[in-house]
Structure 1
Amino acid sequence: MTSAPRAERPLAFFAFVMNTASHMVHGTWRRADGGQRDFEEIGLWISLAQRLERGGFDALFFADVSGLYGDFRGSWSHHVRTGMQFPTHDPLVTLSALAVSTETLGLALTAGPIQEQPFGFARRMSTLDHISRGRVAWNIVTGGRTNDARNYGLDEPLPHDERYDWADEYLDVLYKLWEGSWEDDALVKDRLSGVYADPEKVHKIHHRSNRYRVEGPHLVSPSPQRTPVLFQAGGSPRGREFAARHAEAQFIAAPRPESARALVTETRALVEAGGRAGSDLLFFQGLSFVVGSTEDEARRKRDELEAEIDLETTIAHVGSALGIDLVGYGLDARLVDVLPDRVNGTRSALTWVREAIGAADPTVADLARLVTGQSRVVGTPEQIADRLAEWRAAGIDGINVINETLPGSYTDFIEHVMPVLRERGLARSEPAAGTLRHRLFGHDRLDDRHPAARHRVSGTPRPGPDSPAPVANGAPSR
């Protein structure tokens, strides 16, 4: 069956959340309907996941951090006082509860090489893929915050591009475990013969590289997807190169559809240059929504929201993410002076702000205003559908829906916007079952063009248990 042209396919919808009280739109946990105030209550997440599943969302995606953001006014106390992504709980543990409370909703989490050795991470992700029957995705991050590094034994973050080199190596280990340790028919479970798994078809990986020595085999039998669906969000040249090689989907924050079109075209060219098909990489645009039955109602709700946003915490968040205490420069400071080339964080911020506001010389205040409102779509359900049609026409495959309140932001979208989207073919008319990868691509396993596929071992002779361990990818780590 021939698939529909990309511009005619329904968009996929992910709910973008974090296991914390103040994620992206700061200060809204103080609202009476700000259920994220009690984010530690698992009932909030179970109820939300079930609501999203019934409402036609494809996945619940958890952002995450591994430490505090950088100082604001010389201290990290502001983050604690305002709840700015602190405290934050482990999304993988939370997703285990959601996996048994839902049936079709995809479950995505954020993690990076700094947080865990690849053997342990591979085992936990495969277990979650089993529990969810193949609904797991992983957003691969490299992390550049100082506190993250110091929480995991480093004095300072590694340089930007070196972190991606580390991630390449980390994934090489994971691919060997997920794709290369078990042949497809290795799990026998034969009561008559007493053979549970065929040892000739389960293989140690004998990985040796600069950072890792992993013998294997993978302790978990093959899960429905084996490798989870792979997401990535880096916008730097090295980040896009990494996405072109490894990712199946990339989160972006383009200021307008025209910008997204250029980014999608350029990145898909990188994908094709690496031997994959351009359609192997999907693009998810981050957007928030204020929905009204009329334009006037939508604008009123927007104004009420903007009056409640904690702008100071927004500035603290943005500056900390970039490794700069923005308040020290003042709101009128020029970004060209604030974001020098030496910043070991997000490198595309200056270009993004210039493009978004059409100013050659944007300021810190411009950046703060953009963060709070640039990704927001305000209007009636029909007007929102018009806008999403423009994003789809620009090459966007899905929307990462940002919330202001839980569960209200998603309730409004499901009840008022989703019906219009279905009528226009912008959202699926019927729920999709099966694995998350099947929902997004039509198949359960990574395709043969992906670099992980070269590690598959079905029908391929492998070293036996007594064979010498080969050295791969450089000298053993010490």
Structure 2
Amino acid sequence: MGPDGVDKKILLNAFNMNSVGHICHGLWTHPRDQSADYARLDYWVKLAQTLERGKFDGLFLADVIGANDVYGASPDAALLQSVQVPINDPIVLISAMAYATRHLGFGVTANLTYERPYLLARRFSTLDHLTGGRIGWNIVTGYLDSAARAMGLTEQIRHDDRYDMADDYLDLVYKLWEGSWEDDAVVRDARNGRFTDPAKVHRIRHDGPFYQLDAIHLCEPSPQRTPVLYQAGGSPRGRAFAARHAECVFTNSLTVDLTRSIVADLRRRAVANGRAAEDIKIFSGVIVIVDRTEKAAQEKLREYQRYASPAAGLTHFCASIGVDLSRYGPDEPIEMEGTQAMVAALESITRYNPGRPWTVRRLLELMKLGARNTPIVGSPSQVADQLTAFVRETDVDGFNLMRAVTPESYEDFVDLVVPELQQRGAYKEDYAEGTLRDRLFAGRGGQLPSRHYGRRFRYGAGEWADEAVSRQAGRRGT
């Protein structure tokens, strides 16, 4: 155990989006901010190289399909202040950033509600090959009605129904990634003109409640087969899904106590699913404003606040919870409503928020940086103190570092906080070799572990063994 009482190395992702505005809204107007260059490839390559210099475990790219049009029942407020619109596809950035780095991992969001599983499986196998096993999939089911309408639906599919669909979806893609090709199916025998042994490539037949398929996977086995699985659902149904499938979970709770309870619940659920508590790495969202002295950091915070937009932050929050807060008076308590959006986000300010009720005025006061997150502000040692204390008190494994002013926020963290954490023994000195899964789980293997639910779909195990017995019984006429 290190001097701060932390017996594990802190894991770090940079949290970003292929857009101008992401979490800290309004700060694109800061004169040093470069987020308006989001459509230029060198913007992303330079970011990836900065993160690799800081030994970050990964760059996590969020995404939404649809506009944040809940506030005022219109997209105008989001368009005016660039609240996650315009936004480009994040997945197309990965190859270039991977080519410019050697170790940095990449977690990218893909919405399974609107992505056909057969094509998604091929896309992630391709990225796993091209990155040398450095890709992860952030599994989302969506929360915007505008996305549902854009994809031909009249409204969002019900919250828990989306997770039922997701369970069936995961069964299908596990079969493709884990079960279609045996490890030695590809022989590359040029002398005899045999590239693949057809007997070791297996047709997948899936007839689930939501998805059907009859095909072989088009890709040979990639370094990880199944990408590292990320997930961020905080509702009870979302946590049940995470306990079965997720390897990395993101939480964005407002308090230490709530974070601690979510972490404990996730680990308990994982164990109930036959996994180990440490099989899930949990990351908490954090904004860090750091400078060489506390005084300079506080001045930087005040400077940032002059450019931030709490109103834009409220526009984003309305879309997240699926409730138009423009209907509320400034001091009217916000109540729990039936919503098919981010249930956990709404519950965090209603059902799980004892004491003074949340109001629009109180939310705007909180969003001084255009986001609900209260930033950690201080010198390198003060920031390191707070990060290590949070790990110790909540049992999270690491952090998703959100940008305020970019690339300044990431560069400051890499140059000032990383050396301080390394000096304390709370952060790695260098990357370990292997895939993203290897590094996140300390060399326990580059592919899904045997106790993960998805591993039962590997050819020759679990589901395949049951199917083989059924076929044999059928041939005997029993």
TM-score relative to the length of structure 1: 0.92
Give the aligned partner of residue 453 of structure 2: 451
Instruction: Give a deviation string over 1:90-145, Cα, whole Å, max 9, x none.
Output: 11111122122211100110112122110000001100000000000111111121
Confirm whether residue 359 of structure 1 aligns to residue 355 of structure 2.
yes
Q: Percent identity?
A: 41
Taking the TM superposition and a 5 Å limit, the aligned residue runs for 1:25-104 are 25-104=24-103
Name the SS of the counterpart of 2:388 in structure 1.
helix
Give the aligned partner of residue 192 of structure 1: 191
Identify if the C-alpha distance between structure 1 residues 410 and 356 changes in structure 2 by more than 3 Å, giving closer, same or farther: farther
Counterparts of 1:422 and 1:256, CA distance in 2: 26
Counterparts of 1:463 and 1:199, CA distance in 2: 19
Q: Which amino acid in the other structure matches residue 389 of structure 1?
A: T
1:463 Cα offset (Å): 8.3
Alignment match of 1:343 (pick from 323, 339, 342): 339
Taking the TM superposition and a 5 Å limit, the aligned residue runs for 1:254-273 are 254-273=253-272
Contact 1:257 1:390 in 2 (8 A): no
Counterparts of 1:384 and 1:276, CA distance in 2: 33
Confirm whether residue 429 of structure 1 aligns to residue 425 of structure 2.
no
Instruction: Give a deviation string over 1:132-180, Cα, whole Å, max 9, x none.
Output: 0000011111112111111222111111100000111111110000001
Counterparts of 1:379 and 1:355, CA distance in 2: 32
Identify if the C-alpha distance between structure 1 residues 41 and 449 changes in structure 2 by more than 3 Å, giving closer, same or farther: same
Give the aligned partner of residue 113 of structure 1: 112
Counterparts of 1:238 and 1:74, CA distance in 2: 28
Counterparts of 1:131 and 1:83, CA distance in 2: 32
1:333 Cα offset (Å): 2.0
Q: Which amino acid in the other structure matches residue 424 of structure 1?
A: R
Counterparts of 1:94 and 1:156, CA distance in 2: 30
Q: Which amino acid in the other structure matches residue 452 of structure 2?
A: H
Q: How many residues align?
A: 459
Contact 2:363 2:372 in 1 (8 A): no
Q: Which moved more, 1:223-232 or 1:370-379?
A: 370-379
Contact 1:187 1:196 in 2 (8 A): yes
Contact 2:113 2:162 in 1 (8 A): no
Q: Which amino acid in the other structure matches residue 401 of structure 1?
A: L
Q: Which runs of 5+ in 2 are unaligned?
A: none
Give the aligned partner of residue 17 of structure 1: 16
Contact 2:69 2:76 in 1 (8 A): no
1:66 Cα offset (Å): 0.7
Q: Which amino acid in the other structure matches residue 428 of structure 1?
A: K
Name the SS of the counterpart of 1:139 in structure 2.
strand
Contact 2:6 2:426 in 1 (8 A): no
Name the SS of the counterpart of 1:114 in structure 2.
coil
Contact 1:203 1:462 in 2 (8 A): no
Q: Which amino acid in the other structure matches residue 13 of structure 2?
A: F
Counterparts of 1:453 and 1:130, CA distance in 2: 20
Give the aligned partner of residue 413 of structure 1: 413
Name the SS of the counterpart of 1:222 in structure 2.
coil
Q: Which amino acid in the other structure matches residue 164 of structure 1?
A: Y
1:261 Cα offset (Å): 2.1
Q: Which amino acid in the other structure matches residue 64 of structure 1?
A: D
Instruction: Give a deviation string over 1:388-413, Cα, whole Å, max 9, x none.
Output: 11122121111100001221100000
Q: Which runs of 5+ in 1 are unaligned?
A: 1-5, 471-478
Name the SS of the counterpart of 1:437 in structure 2.
helix
Name the SS of the counterpart of 1:386 in structure 2.
helix
1:431 Cα offset (Å): 2.4
Identify if the C-alpha distance between structure 1 residues 356 and 324 changes in structure 2 by more than 3 Å, giving closer, same or farther: closer
Name the SS of the counterpart of 2:126 in structure 1.
helix
1:344 Cα offset (Å): 1.7
Name the SS of the counterpart of 2:60 in structure 1.
strand
1:454 Cα offset (Å): 0.8
Instruction: Give a deviation string over 1:179-235, Cα, whole Å, max 9, x none.
Output: 010111111101223211111111011111232221121000000000000011011
Name the SS of the counterpart of 2:349 in structure 1.
helix
Counterparts of 1:374 and 1:88, CA distance in 2: 22
Give the aligned partner of residue 145 of structure 2: 146
Give the aligned partner of residue 402 of structure 1: 402
Name the SS of the counterpart of 1:231 in structure 2.
strand
Give the aligned partner of residue 391 of structure 2: 392
TM-score relative to the length of structure 2: 0.92
Identify if the C-alpha distance between structure 1 residues 365 and 348 changes in structure 2 by more than 3 Å, giving closer, same or farther: farther
Q: Which moved more, 1:301-310 or 1:161-170?
A: 301-310
